[in-house]
Amino acid sequence: MDTPVYRFYGPVTEYRYHFLSLSIEKEVVKIVRFSETKVADTYNLVLLDMMADGGESNDKTETKNKDMNVVLATVMQVVTDFLDKNLDCFVHIEGSDSKRRRGYQILINREYDRLINDYIIFGGNDNKKEVLEKGKTYSYFIISKR
C-alpha cells in the first residue's frame, strides 16, 4: 500500500471487578478497574462508582456510605484475587488525592502481616520506590505476587 497511514494503537488491556457498597440510605455499585500501563505487566488500579445511568464516575466521587473500611478491605481482596490469577503482574495503587492515598496507606499497613508472606510490596514517593517499610508514608504502592 502506497498511501500514508496514521499511527494507531492497539487496545488497552483492562480487567474489571464489581461489588456493592451497602448502607441504610443507598446501594452503590463499585468498580475496581485494572488498566494496563506503559510499563510491562503493570496495571494501575482505579476505584470508581457506577452512576445510576450505568456510566462510570471519576475516581474523585465521594460515596459517603460510611463503609470505607469495608470498601478498602474489599479492594485489597480484589487485588489479591487479580494477582493470584495474573502471577507475573504488578498492581500500581495510588489514590487520586491525599485522603484516598491515606486510606490505602492505612489499609496496606493494617494488612501488611497477612500480605507480606505471599506478596512483595513496594512503596514510592515521586520516582523513587523501595521495599515497603511498615509505618512509613508513601504516595503510591506497587504489589506483586512472590
Q: What is the pLDDT of residues 92-143, one digit of tens each?
A: 999 888 888 998 999 899 989 999 999 999 999 988 999 999 889 999 999 9
The pLDDT assigned to 54 comes to 67
Q: What span, in angstroms and rounded, lies between the C-alpha atoms of 142 and 144?
A: 7
Question: Residue 31's beta-bridge partner residues?
Answer: 18, 48
pLDDT tier, 11 (very low <50, low <70, confident <90, very high otherwise): low
Confidence (pTM): 0.84
Please give the sequence-ordered ranges of beta strands (E in DSSP) within the chain, or none if there are none: 14-22, 27-36, 42-49, 90-93, 119-125, 128-131, 140-145
Helical segments of the chain, H only: 68-85, 98-115
Indicate if the pLDDT at residue 90 is higher than 90: yes
- Of the listed ranges 54-63, 67-76, 106-115, the least confidently predicted one is 54-63
